[in-house]
Amino acid sequence: MKKLALHWQIILGMVLGVLFALLMVQFDWGPKIVSDWVKPFGTIFINSLKLIAVPLILASLIKGVSDLKDISKLSKMGGRTIGMYLLTTVIAVSIGLAVVNIIKPGNSVGEATRNELIENYKGDADSKIQAAEKQREAGPLQALEDLVPSNIFNAASDNGNMLQVIFFAVFFGIGLILLPEAKADPAKKFFDSFNEVILKLIDLIMLGAPYGVFALLAALVAESPSLDLFKALAWYALTVVLGLSLMLLVYMLIVYFVTGKSPKFLFQGLAPAQLLAFSTSSSAATLPVTMERVEEHLGVDEEVSSFVLPIGATINMDGTSLYQAVAAVFIAQTFGMDLSFGTQLGIIATATLASIGSAAVPGAGMVMLVIVLAQAGIPEAGLALIFAVDRPLDMCRTVVNVTGDASVSMVVGKSVGKLREPHAKEWDDNYKK
């Protein structure tokens, strides 16, 4: 029998996970069984992906940068990457502001529902507000200061310090470029082979992906709050999803016009990474798979993808910035506030910066939303309003975050002549071995 393509296997895992949880919640003891006996397998799956993120960035980025042979190429690629990331983020926030101003989802929430939501989720919202407090105290150059680690082992020991690991890897790669070949070669070969091992590990982990997503989605459904509150926020959720879909359309157009590749090519190549982004809500955990798919199925050379993707996973979050714009205006609408054009322009700037500052982990976008709200003078307590539907929306915005990084890597690859036909002609032949 022909083996199902990986993305179908993952979709099957997701659907079965949801059905299984829906069945289990019919029994009093069901949710506990799911959280005791099923959820841990989801956590193990996410941990195994996170486990290889730092070694992967180190090995592939050192190899990628040292392969460039010439530093001017690096600055060219760096400039284009940052430029594209900023451009797509600003487009995303603008789409968010446009849809929320047209649909006005805030007007559909009555005062009673508003008070009920704030009452129910006050505690959860407060913990996000406290987390944001730390970010707010930072000075203007804090981000730059944080870029340079004082100790590489410390930096690599925490998945939250990806940018520091990236800094070290690029710096190390530059050192290799500057050395005579005979001296640099042994180190290059080592990282080359190290990189191959990590790629093999990704293949192995992906064998477990259908089971991992089964466990993740089953746990999520079994633990989700009541449907009534979901309904009250349906217009808001739809507005975010509509905005995110439009953003996917923007990527398709950009990729099509710049590289000539069809939307089918983009989505078929990237599907497993998108499905994992959806199931894990974390672009950092998805990064190893995104890198593998982009290199082997979208045809971007490793020199480009190893540079563009880890940076993108940390700073380019178009889905997050779009959601922050919609959420901020939605909260203002429910409080009956009319935001001026100037305030909305301010949201473009703060949501762009806030999405850059958001960590690539579940729920991070909501912490940074506190800062967007504060800048625009919208009550922070409003965060409680959107809590009930945040997780499903987080899943959707993470798909957009990952798709954005992959699209930009194709565009940058094309612009420096590093986009080729993909290695893996047959989808998923890698996993059939």
Which positions lie near ligand ASP, rule CB under 6 A?
A: 281-283, 317, 320, 358, 360-365, 394, 397-398, 401
DSSP structure string for 385-421 = HHGGGHHHHHHHHHHHHHHHHHHHHHHHHHHTT-B--
Shortest spacing between CB 262 and ligand ASP, in angstroms: 26
Shortest spacing between CB 330 and ligand ASP, in angstroms: 16
Nearer of residues 304 and 364 to ligand ASP, judged by Cβ: 364
| Contact by Cβ (8 Å): 65, 307 | yes
| Contact by Cβ (8 Å): 59, 65 | no
Nearer of residues 20 and 251 to ligand ASP, judged by Cβ: 251
Shortest spacing between CB 178 and ligand ASP, in angstroms: 35
Shortest spacing between CB 31 and ligand ASP, in angstroms: 24
Nearer of residues 132 and 364 to ligand ASP, judged by Cβ: 364
Nearer of residues 350 and 398 to ligand ASP, judged by Cβ: 398
Nearer of residues 68 and 92 to ligand ASP, judged by Cβ: 92
What is Dmax (Cα atoms) for the chain?
73
Nearer of residues 62 and 277 to ligand ASP, judged by Cβ: 277
Place of tokens 């191959």: 196
Pairwise CA distance, residues 217 & 44, whole Å = 14
Give me the helix-helix angle, 162-178 and 181-207, nearest 10°. Answer: 150
Pairwise CA distance, residues 416 & 396, whole Å = 31
Nearer of residues 6 and 322 to ligand ASP, judged by Cβ: 322
Q: How far is CA 96 from CA 180, 289, 382, in A?
A: 50, 28, 18
Shortest spacing between CB 95 and ligand ASP, in angstroms: 16
**By beta-carbon distance, which residue lies closest to ligand ASP?**
365
Pairwise CA distance, residues 143 & 266, whole Å = 33
426 secondary structure, DSSP code: S
> Residues 6 or more apart from 310 whose CB is under 8 A from it?
57, 61, 162, 166, 287, 291
User: Helices (H), strands (E): how many in the chain?
Assistant: 21, 0
Nearer of residues 65 and 369 to ligand ASP, judged by Cβ: 369
Shortest spacing between CB 237 and ligand ASP, in angstroms: 15
Shortest spacing between CB 364 and ligand ASP, in angstroms: 4
Q: Two tokens at 195?
A: 């990189």
Shortest spacing between CB 121 and ligand ASP, in angstroms: 16
